[in-house]
Chains A and B, each alone.
Chain A
Amino acid sequence: MEKEKTAAFKKVIKSRLNRNMRYYLDLCTRCGLCYDTCHVYQGIPKKEYSPVNRAEVVRKIFKKYFRPSGFFLPGWGDASAIDDHVLDELHEAAFSCTGCRRCMMYCPFGIDIPYILSIAKGILLENGTAPEELVMLADGAVEKGKSIDMFREGFTEVIRDLEKEVQARIGRDTPDGLIPLEKKDADILYVGLSGAHSIVHPAVIFNTAGDSWTLSYFEGVNFGAFAGDPEKTRLIAQRVIDEALRLNVKEVVMVECGTAYRIMKFLMGDLPFRVTSIVELIHRHISGGRIRIREGAVTAPLTYHDPCQLGRNGGVYDEPREILRLLCTDFREMSPTREYNWCCGGGGGLIALDNEEFRIKSGKPKRDQIVAAGAEIVVSACENCIMQLGTIVTGYSLDVEVWSLTELVAENLA
């Protein structure tokens, strides 16, 4: 490896050595309690997919460049310089991890292994070998933030079409204003995704509830985070923050996207508005009588898949369950559930990569959970999860329907 390249890699590692990272890099005793806690390892039982090994790939280069033992006695901790083989190992470790943090639940020290893997992603970005799809999507999102005026007209036209769909669903006289844009002082700024369904179903709910709301020009999904670029992550989230401040809204409601919710709620510092997941808003509206749903409308056995970023990493567990228990007559928990729930395998941007065979295999524990629950309907509240659950259902030929929670509610409004 050329000296300049190694120096650039060392700079990347150094830039990520904050206090938490230093604890995580020094702490591990390689006890192996996390070894089989990753869904990828369950589906493809290779050492490379064990959480401890993923972290060790990063640790060994950290030791090489930042620990005297790594320099003088590399055999002590398997310290290793970055070469082509190590770069491949870093890629396999980082871009097979969904960032679900299930391994943390079994670590006696609470080490955040996906956080350690942000070093791997940083090195791969520096090397130009991070997945092109994620980098391009992140760049596109950042660019949209810079030149929103170019997108505004086309976006508005699409929204006017979607308003007609909403009108047809809720039976209003006119489609005008059913999906408000640029509404100053609205209570809610709703942040959707690029798919029409992520706008139409929420719009049906907001209008039924009589919300004062406005739609964001931007998508909630943050490809900067998936690619492992902290600066792009910030820029992508900042677009929405700036919009919310400009429109002076009280609350930003995030689409069914776990990562978007977690970044906005927990990683962007103190914000002068409330950040809510649409699942929480729906729950609030049902509890407050703002919307009514057809109780017991779904009679087939139904289960809920906790999106990792919404549940384990966001704390939203009870709201979706309470909504679903009202909606269906046969709610079944998967086992294990809640914070121990298996990741479906679609997070961390993996769903955007050309890796379907890998995702079917890594979705094996989720497939087993669904089958064991005897569910005919699986509901979730994250776009990535829903797409990946669809891949699992197709890949394993399961006779199961996959629904988004928002869509299920919108379809069953009383």
Chain B
Amino acid sequence: MWDNIFYFIMVPMVYLSFAVFLAGILFKGVIILSSEKYSPSMAVYPVKGRGPAGAIGESFLVPSAFRKSRLFWFFIIAFHAAFLLLIIGHLELIRDFSIIQVIPHDVFLGSGFVGIVLIVSTVYFLFRRFHTPFREISVAEDYVLLLLLFTTMIFGSHMNLAATWGIAGFDIPVEDYRTYLWSMVLFSPELPKGITYSPHYVILALHIFFANIFLMLFPFSKMIHSVFIFFAQNIKRK
């Protein structure tokens, strides 16, 4: 029975999650594009960094947070930078990308520290919400998303640390991840024995299970800020 459940999580649910994610993003895009454009200027002065370049700069550097709380800003930057590295790391688990290997490094990226940074940042974001006044403005969505990230990262980090440092005494080799993920990309799913026979199979299945849920919630939750921020930042520059 567990084999079937794990298979469901590792294959059909992954396809389902990506389908929901992509359809959700597309749906949001259609809603936005079909909404009336508001043309009057909504600028805030002085306009710092004009146009889309300014909007992108402010989106990535978050100067407003830097001004208000250096600690919060540090964790925002740490979290998002680590998240970006994590996406690159996962891409390299699919196949070799020479463009990413411009700076030669081992796969998975970061020797396990990327995951740790993410976990620590997520814990900070979560604990911050336990305090007044942030507790009062938090809703279930805020906690659920952070807990989903936390669980996904805990399991992911465990596997990464096991592979990097051999601390669990065994791991799933990169080649097996690549066999699995590349087969998923080609729509001919294959779960190599290196994964299914590994004691880490349950950990990997849980990692992917929580990631699947997170991915499906992404377009329909506040996670959409990762896309909309650039457009909103541009509004106050026009």
- Listed in ascending order, the chain A residues whose CB lies under 8 Å from chain B are 17-24, 26-33, 35-37, 47, 50, 52-53, 56, 67-69, 75-78, 101, 104-112, 115, 266-269, 311-315, 317, 339
A78 to B139, CA, bound (A): 6
Q: Is the interface of B mostly helix, strand, loop or mixed?
A: helix
Partner of B236, one of A27, A69, A77, A110: A110
CB distance from A192 to the nearest CB of B (A): 24
- Listed in ascending order, the chain B residues whose CB lies under 8 Å from chain A are 28, 31-32, 35-46, 58, 62, 64-65, 67-69, 72, 76, 133-134, 136-142, 144, 220, 222, 224-225, 228-229, 231-233, 235-236
A266 to B64, CA, bound (A): 25
For B31, the closest partner residue in chain A by CB is A22
CB distance from A165 to the nearest CB of B (A): 35
* B44–A269 CB distance below 8 A: no
A36 to B133, CA, bound (A): 9
Partner of B142, one of A30, A109, A315: A30
* B232–A27 CB distance below 8 A: yes
A380 to B235, CA, bound (A): 28
CB distance from B43 to the nearest CB of A (A): 7
CB distance from A301 to the nearest CB of B (A): 26
B43 neighbours in A (Cβ, 8 Å): 266, 313, 315
* B140–A112 CB distance below 8 A: no
Number of A-B residue pairs with CB-CB distance less than 8 Å in the complex they form: 138
A49 to B68, CA, bound (A): 18
Q: Is the interface of A mostly helix, strand, loop or mixed?
A: loop
CB distance from A329 to the nearest CB of B (A): 28
Q: Which 5 A-B pairs have the closest CB atoms?
A: A315-B45, A266-B41, A267-B40, A18-B38, A18-B36
A77 neighbours in B (Cβ, 8 Å): 139-141
Partner of B233, one of A32, A68, A110, A269: A110
* B68–A106 CB distance below 8 A: yes
- For B39, B144, B235, which residue has the most chain A Cβ atoms within 10 angstroms? B235
CB distance from A160 to the nearest CB of B (A): 38
* B65–A33 CB distance below 8 A: yes
CB distance from B126 to the nearest CB of A (A): 13
* B69–A311 CB distance below 8 A: no
Given contacts A29-B222, A33-B72, is CB(A112)–CB(B133) below 8 Å?
A: no
Given contacts A24-B232, A50-B133, is CB(A269)–CB(B40) below 8 Å?
A: yes
For B144, the closest partner residue in chain A by CB is A76
* B35–A110 CB distance below 8 A: no
* B228–A19 CB distance below 8 A: no
Partner of A19, one of B37, B64, B138, B139: B37
A269 to B40, CA, bound (A): 6
Partner of A312, one of B39, B45, B141: B45
Partner of B222, one of A27, A32, A35: A27
A339 to B44, CA, bound (A): 8
* A23–B44 CB distance below 8 A: no
B141 neighbours in A (Cβ, 8 Å): 76-77
* A339–B46 CB distance below 8 A: yes
B38 neighbours in A (Cβ, 8 Å): 18-21
CB distance from B29 to the nearest CB of A (A): 11
* B32–A22 CB distance below 8 A: yes
A267 neighbours in B (Cβ, 8 Å): 40-41
* A35–B133 CB distance below 8 A: yes
Given contacts A17-B35, A108-B62, A266-B43, is CB(A76)–CB(B139) below 8 Å?
A: yes
A104 to B62, CA, bound (A): 13
CB distance from B142 to the nearest CB of A (A): 6
A17 neighbours in B (Cβ, 8 Å): 35
A17 to B236, CA, bound (A): 18
A112 to B237, CA, bound (A): 12
Given contacts A19-B35, A78-B139, A108-B65, is CB(A314)–CB(B45) below 8 Å?
A: yes
* A111–B44 CB distance below 8 A: no
4 more CB-based (< 8 A) A-B contacts, given A30-B222, A106-B68, A266-B43: A26-B28, A30-B137, A315-B45, A317-B46
Partner of B45, one of A18, A35, A311: A311
Partner of A315, one of B35, B46, B236: B46
CB distance from B56 to the nearest CB of A (A): 13
Given contacts A27-B229, A29-B222, A32-B137, is CB(A312)–CB(B65) below 8 Å?
A: no
For A74, the closest partner residue in chain B by CB is B140
A108 to B36, CA, bound (A): 24
A101 to B62, CA, bound (A): 18
A104 neighbours in B (Cβ, 8 Å): 44, 236
A109 to B234, CA, bound (A): 10
For A102, the closest partner residue in chain B by CB is B44
A-B contact pairs, 24 of them (CB 8 A): A18-B36, A23-B32, A23-B235, A26-B28, A26-B228, A27-B222, A27-B224, A27-B229, A30-B139, A30-B142, A35-B133, A35-B137, A76-B139, A76-B140, A77-B139, A77-B140, A101-B44, A106-B68, A107-B64, A110-B44, A266-B41, A311-B45, A315-B46, A339-B44
B62 neighbours in A (Cβ, 8 Å): 108
* B229–A109 CB distance below 8 A: yes
A367 to B144, CA, bound (A): 42
Given contacts A18-B38, A19-B35, A33-B72, is CB(A109)–CB(B225) below 8 Å?
A: yes
* B232–A109 CB distance below 8 A: yes
